[in-house]
Amino acid sequence: MELSTSELAGTPVIRIRGEIDHGNASTLSTAIDDLLNTEQHVIILDVTQVDYMDSGGISVLLSALRRLRERGWLGIINPNANVQRLFQIVGLALDSSFRVFDDNAAAEQALRETART
Amino acid sequence: MELSTSELAGTPVIRIRGEIDHGNASTLSTAIDDLLNTEQHVIILDVTQVDYMDSGGISVLLSALRRLRERGWLGIINPNANVQRLFQIVGLALDSSFRVFDDNAAAEQALRETART
Amino acid sequence: MTHSHIAFSRSITVQPDTSQLYEVRRFVESVAADATLDSERTFDLMVAVSEACANAVEHSGSPGLPVKVKAACRGGRLVIQICDYGGFRLPSTANGFQRDHRGLGLPLMVALMDEVRIAKLSGGGTKVTLSVKLPAPALC
Amino acid sequence: MTHSHIAFSRSITVQPDTSQLYEVRRFVESVAADATLDSERTFDLMVAVSEACANAVEHSGSPGLPVKVKAACRGGRLVIQICDYGGFRLPSTANGFQRDHRGLGLPLMVALMDEVRIAKLSGGGTKVTLSVKLPAPALC
Ligand SMILES: Nc1ncnc2c1ncn2[C@@H]1O[C@H](COP(=O)(O)OP(=O)(O)O)[C@@H](O)[C@H]1O
Ligand SMILES: Nc1ncnc2c1ncn2[C@@H]1O[C@H](COP(=O)(O)OP(=O)(O)O)[C@@H](O)[C@H]1O
């Protein structure tokens, strides 16, 4: 798993590449915690290049979501069909603080709407 | 399941009789919550007459324990061998805020020691 | 030496309400006595069956559809099957963080039983099969 | 019409470390390809096997003892067994409330598989058996 950080409309985006499992989830967790500690209202994960994720990764998303819920939301860009199905199975897909976007443009628009309110 | 409330050295004791399961755990939960809201540091459950308990009951104990942990402890009087074994299996037996006593006298002594500190 | 064989099969069907768990445990108690389980293993089986039935009632999302509990003594084991006609699903996270309990049911079943088997029924629904070994000499 | 039969049995043994999960998934991927599973069911199986192996590594309390993964294609199903040589135990509540995750592994395995079976090994240890139905016409 490789991580790289950038920004979208002033919001931090972590691009993840590879497989997220119980062996490397803590690396992702640390990267997200660093951003959470800066009091960000929204964090975005670009998972375009994530081929695989299991409850190791889901647990990290759940922890992030728990901390973000009161102040904003967690955004996910471009999960593949299997990862999206996993989000449905674990019940994340119904969570209004967990927002999935097809691409950067859709995420950016949502960020601008959030900034306006 | 029947509940009756009394006191031991100034601490509330709920005596439970019967079987605690997913069908009636909420009744016990309500009784415990009423005591927790009075800011009690310790709550005691006398389970001498509890023949059966499952995760319905364990969940209630876990919630109570979570709220009591910082201010005191949860005491259990006289669980039968099976219930005690269940406490071991679910990992409660190792929890220092979860205290099991053979009888009233042992619980009373612990309460006096807690009051002294 | 030949063992006495008391193979049997018994079942009950209950309404999908947790108030029925008490009744289910009386069934388990009686079946366990027939299979000569000791009080410790009887307790374990009552807990595991109650957990499986509570799950069927609370999670399967099949309001009104009954839960079937079938017990059979065979091959040196007492085997209890719990069937519901809903769907196996995980809880949504939307309200998930208020949950006090920690999903103890499935791990507890596994911890208490010799074997736990969970299969999807073809028409939808979940079949949980719990089994405990009988003390030697096996009675069935 | 007769079906082609490609029954097979393959296994790997890995060190009890979560860094090995990547390797285990490559094994599952290869086995799933042999059994002609589609990419969706292959993903499901990779997740379920990873969860079972992660549990064996993280919870069985058998540091140093390897985890065995055995795959067999038979009876119209692809069946994968994961064995560890520790003991099945629930987490202590002592630090329990700091846990972020919610015990997703077992429910997720059940949600994804057609059948999950968890048995105690007689010498101590846990055997998890995961199975998925193969698409008709079954290849084994
Ligand atoms: N018979 C069932 N039908 C549907 N879903 C189930 C069933 N049994 C278990 N589940 C799912 O598995 C999860 C874990 O079950 P369990 O370990 O018993 O924990 P709990 O019941 O405390 O949530 C449940 O929350 C539920 O989402
Ligand atoms: N192979 C195993 N050996 C010992 N204990 C296990 C094993 N698999 C599961 N467990 C126990 O069952 C519990 C629930 O497992 P699971 O649902 O995968 O959740 P998690 O791994 O997130 O705790 C674990 O916390 C552990 O206590």
Indicate the residue type of A82. N
Q: Which residue in B23, B54, B81 is closest to C19 by CB distance?
A: B23
**Using the beta-carbon criterion (under 8 Å), do D90 and C96 form an inter-chain contact?**
no
pLDDT less than 50: residues of chain B: none
Chain C positions in Cβ-Cβ contact with residue A98 (cut-off 8 Å): 93
**Using the beta-carbon criterion (under 8 Å), do C102 and D99 form an inter-chain contact?**
yes
Q: Which pLDDT score is estimated for D94?
A: 65
**Using the beta-carbon criterion (under 8 Å), do B91 and D90 form an inter-chain contact?**
yes
Please, are residues C67 and C53 in contact by the beta-carbon 8 Å criterion?
A: yes
Centroid of ligand 2 to alpha carbon of C110 (angstroms): 10
Share of chain D above pLDDT 70, in %: 86
Strand order in the sheet with A73-77: A2-8, A11-20, A42-53, A73-77, A98-101
**Using the beta-carbon criterion (under 8 Å), do D106 and C102 form an inter-chain contact?**
no
Centroid of ligand 2 to alpha carbon of A109 (angstroms): 41
Closest atom, ligand 2, to C-alpha of D102? 22
By CA distance, what is C107's nearest residue in D?
D90
Q: Which pLDDT score is estimated for C27?
A: 98
Mutate to test the interface with A, among C90, C93, C97, C98 (most CBs of A within 10 A): C93
Cα→Cα distances C43→B4, B81, C12, C50, D62, Å: 25, 10, 19, 10, 28
Q: For residues C61 and A54, which has the higher predicted lDDT (pLDDT)?
A: A54
Phi, psi of D108 (to 5 degrees): -65, -40
CATH superfamily of C9-133: Histidine kinase-like ATPase, C-terminal domain (3.30.565.10)
Please report the residues numbered 41 through 70 in chain A whose beta carbons come closer than 8 angstroms to any beta carbon of chain D. 52, 54-56, 58-59, 62-63, 66
Domains of chain A: 2-116 (3.30.750.24)
Q: What confidence tier does D6 reach under pLDDT thresholds 50, 70, 90?
A: low
Which ligand is located closest to the Cα atom of residue D51? 2
By CA distance, what is D107's nearest residue in C?
C90
Domain ranges of chain D: 9-133
Q: Which pLDDT score is estimated for C136?
A: 75
Chain C positions in Cβ-Cβ contact with residue D107 (cut-off 8 Å): 90, 103, 106
Res A57 pLDDT > 50 = yes
Query: How far is CA D111 from its chain centroid?
Result: 13
Mutate to test the interface with D, among B61, B90, B100 (most CBs of D within 10 A): B90
- The ipTM, to two decimals, is 0.95
Q: What confidence tier does A29 reach under pLDDT thresholds 50, 70, 90?
A: very high
Res A48 pLDDT > 90 = yes
Q: Which pLDDT score is estimated for D22?
A: 98
**Using the beta-carbon criterion (under 8 Å), do B63 and C108 form an inter-chain contact?**
no
pTM for the full model? 0.95
Q: Supply the Cα-derived Rg of chain C in whole angstroms.
A: 16
Q: How far is A49 from chain C (nearest CA, A)?
A: 25
Helix (H), strand (E) at residue C70: strand C67-74
Res D3 pLDDT > 50 = no
Centroid of ligand 1 to alpha carbon of C82 (angstroms): 13
For ligand 1, residues with CB inside 6 Å are C 51, 55-56, 59-60, 84, 86, 88-91, 101, 103-106, 126; D 107
Reported as a single tens digit per residue, the pLDDT across D64-101 is: 899 999 999 988 999 999 999 999 999 877 655 445 55
Look over chain D and give the mean of its residue pLDDT values, rounded to a whole number: 89
Q: Tell me the C-alpha distance between A71 and C102, whole Å.
A: 25
What three-state secondary structure class fits A115? helix
Ligand 1 test: best mutation among C21, C51, C59, C65, most atoms within 8 Å of CB? C59
Q: Which pLDDT score is estimated for C6?
A: 67
Q: Which pLDDT score is estimated for C15?
A: 96
Q: Is the peptide bond before C137 cis (omega within 30 degrees of 0)?
A: yes
- Closest C-alpha to ligand 2, atom 12: C107
pLDDT in tens, chain C (140 residues): 344 556 889 999 999 999 999 999 999 999 999 999 999 999 999 999 999 999 999 999 888 899 999 999 988 999 999 999 999 999 877 655 445 556 899 999 999 999 999 999 999 999 999 999 998 766 66
* Closest CA relative to residue A23, chosen from A64, A55, A66: A55
